[in-house]
Structure 1
């Protein structure tokens, strides 16, 4: 009897619970902010690693062999074109020059004697005092003497060049680099390492590379029919230094290489920056920052997206306010916003935030519609 009574009470309890669950209200739809998609204008900034070189960046090398006798300047000094830098011991070269000068003097004297012989024989042949054969022989000797003079002049000029090479001068204005060789060192044109480097850094060149896809995008987004026209229409670029500070003066992209590198598949561009204060040096590193303005594009906040397996999604609303995940493709970033290339269009509505735990297809209550992303 007690068993039957217990079963009856349990049945009544289960029925009561079932009735309560049946009468429980459904979960309310969440109220979330919504973004209306419209065209906007945004500026994107892309950075590329650069290698900086002086406008002129040359190696200073010896052109004759010898002992380094004198160094006229110090490392890091600013020099002007034609200023002496190094002096190679010139004793042997000066001796060669003196010998060449003496040989030239002898050849010129022989030429004078040969000319005198021709002048002497000419009237005698005309008067038939001597044979014409003697005159022709004298004329031949004169030609040989003149050839010897020309050869001696060439030898003397070469000796003069070698003697001049013993004084090494600055080919351009610029800053001197380090000296791997010191006074007393034996130097040669075949040395693997230069005496120093000379850089003209009043202007510097920042070289950077674009991959093929980036270069195609660069061409399509820049006005102009030719590369020259596109370069002229480009806005100034900034230089971000290795400490992430921005160089004080803007530069201009002024060169695109004529072909892609077969090894890397990239093409080189050059930006030119003024450097009147000499703050930048050859060998500096950094990044060139290219800013591009995009008009009539779709811009959405990054917080309105969710990343799943390397793909970006937004929650797109239909006319019944049901939110479904929609994949999008972006064309760039502008601050904390994405520029959307594909996936949504003008007039669409997306959930702005609060969708982290929102099931796909769930219905929401739109909060006061958020205005489109402001012009950036």
Structure 2
């Protein structure tokens, strides 16, 4: 039709040129120019029509998935730090000069193993003195007992007065008490003498020594001789916001979530490079109060650490399996796109394989994808790849369809 109009215009042009009195060479140039313009116009129109036809018939191949209902675990991850399962600072319980260090720094020590030897000459002398005093008290008790037995016979024969007998009875009772007192003093000096060997209070790995042989130490001093850490197990403490804790708790009480105590006890640990610690831990403590400064609740998990990979102070991320949401509508994470305003969308595919961009409202991520509050329903078919190329009304082919 356009071509016909161009031909009609050319006929009118020729008639107009014949009736005009302008020179023939000028008429010829005008004729050539207008004829070329008409041809270019016809060619451009054909190109636009071809592009429109290609766009209307273009078909993209996408993968699709049906929206499903699942029971999903409301898992969450929190940053935390590793703390020692048991730690003990070694301090002397008696005063004196350190004669010898008996351990290798950084080695494993057992509970009760001697770590330092303090000069025990004075304490040994006190022990010997207490032991001699006990022997003396024991001999005096025996002598008082013999006198008492003799006076029992004499008073029966009326050879001595009753007062003399009672005095011997008192002497014996006092000698018994003196012997007990001497025994207690001996026990005390024995303990003090034993304290000259500074022993490990717990089993674990001992750190560096803060003193050397020849140093003077005092009883219960503030300076630590060395520290022992039990690394066979470790604690991981994390902080959970009180609002998140309350939300989970309220949803469980309302029946929106179901608590799964067995799964909630399992904790998975990740390092700062994203790698996973091979041994799962168990939740051992949920603090019963909220920290007023941070507004957080402390959760503590315990992990076996046989290879001593986890060290106190290490920053980690703990993954907790939270409560279960029953019959949740879930879509794959790859199917969800967002615009510049932060609104979320999916592309729904109808029975004629036409796509429509549909806004959705999400609750959060789970292991299967996004949990949907509204926007799509179970059974809807949605595109899970190539969404950046899709537009409403476009026809697509679904991969895997015959």
* TM exceeding 0.5: yes
Indicate how the Cα distance of structure 1 residues 93 and 342 shifts in structure 2: closer, same or farther if over 3 A, else same: farther
Aligned partner of 2:30 in structure 1 is none
Structure number with greater Rg is 2
Aligned partner of 1:364 in structure 2 is 392
Aligned partner of 2:302 in structure 1 is 272
**1:4-55: CA deviations, max 9, x gaps?**
xxxxxxxxxxxxxxxxxxxxx9x99999989864335767763322332344
**1:326-352: CA deviations, max 9, x gaps?**
5x24233549x4333466544668887
Alpha-carbon offset, residue 125 of structure 1:
0.5
Aligned partner of 1:340 in structure 2 is 372
Aligned residue pair count: 333
Aligned partner of 2:336 in structure 1 is 304
Show structure 1 runs of 5+ residues with no match.
1-24, 225-229, 372-376
CA contact (8 A) 1:302 1:338 kept: no
**Alignment counterpart, residue 364 of structure 2, candidates 327, 331, 335:** 331
Indicate how the Cα distance of structure 1 residues 285 and 39 shifts in structure 2: closer, same or farther if over 3 A, else same: same
Alpha-carbon offset, residue 175 of structure 1:
0.9
Give the Cα–Cα distance (whole angstroms) in 1 for the partners of residues 349 and 103 of structure 2: 77
Alpha-carbon offset, residue 153 of structure 1:
1.1
Give the Cα–Cα distance (whole angstroms) in 2 for the partners of residues 242 and 191 of structure 1: 39
Written as runs of structure 1 = structure 2, the 5 A alignment for 1:1-376 is 37-40=67-70, 46-216=76-246, 220=252, 223-224=259-260, 230=261, 232-234=262-264, 236-247=266-277, 249-257=278-286, 259-263=288-292, 264-290=294-320, 296-297=327-328, 298-301=330-333, 304-306=336-338, 312-314=343-345, 328-332=361-365, 334=367, 337-341=369-373, 345-346=377-378, 364-368=392-396
Alpha-carbon offset, residue 241 of structure 1:
2.4
Give the Cα–Cα distance (whole angstroms) in 1 for the partners of residues 180 and 88 of structure 2: 36
**1:70-112: CA deviations, max 9, x gaps?**
1111211012233221112222222221222122222222222
CA contact (8 A) 2:335 2:382 kept: no
Give the Cα–Cα distance (whole angstroms) in 1 for the partners of residues 223 and 273 of structure 2: 31
SS at match of 1:162: helix
Indicate how the Cα distance of structure 1 residues 242 and 184 shifts in structure 2: closer, same or farther if over 3 A, else same: farther
**1:204-257: CA deviations, max 9, x gaps?**
332323233443566646644xxxxx1x3347433222444322x222214123
Larger fraction in helix? 2
Give the Cα–Cα distance (whole angstroms) in 2 for the partners of residues 318 and 299 of structure 1: 14
Give the Cα–Cα distance (whole angstroms) in 2 for the partners of residues 305 and 269 of structure 1: 34
Give the Cα–Cα distance (whole angstroms) in 2 for the partners of residues 141 and 244 of structure 1: 81
Give the Cα–Cα distance (whole angstroms) in 1 for the partners of residues 258 and 83 of structure 2: 26
Alpha-carbon offset, residue 161 of structure 1:
0.9
Give the Cα–Cα distance (whole angstroms) in 2 for the partners of residues 265 and 124 of structure 1: 86
Of 153-162 and 124-133, the range deviating more from structure 2: 153-162
Alpha-carbon offset, residue 148 of structure 1:
1.3
Give the Cα–Cα distance (whole angstroms) in 2 for the partners of residues 341 and 152 of structure 1: 82
Show structure 2 runs of 5+ residues with no match.
1-48
Give the Cα–Cα distance (whole angstroms) in 2 for the partners of residues 72 and 133 of structure 1: 62
Indicate how the Cα distance of structure 1 residues 314 and 196 shifts in structure 2: closer, same or farther if over 3 A, else same: same
CA contact (8 A) 1:42 1:299 kept: no
SS at match of 2:270: strand
What TM-score does the superposition give when structure 1 sets the normalisation length? 0.72
Structure with greater contact order relative to length (CA < 8 Å, sep ≥ 6): 1
Of 255-264 and 121-130, the range deviating more from structure 2: 255-264
SS at match of 1:57: strand
Give the Cα–Cα distance (whole angstroms) in 1 for the partners of residues 149 and 202 of structure 2: 53
CA contact (8 A) 1:37 1:348 kept: yes
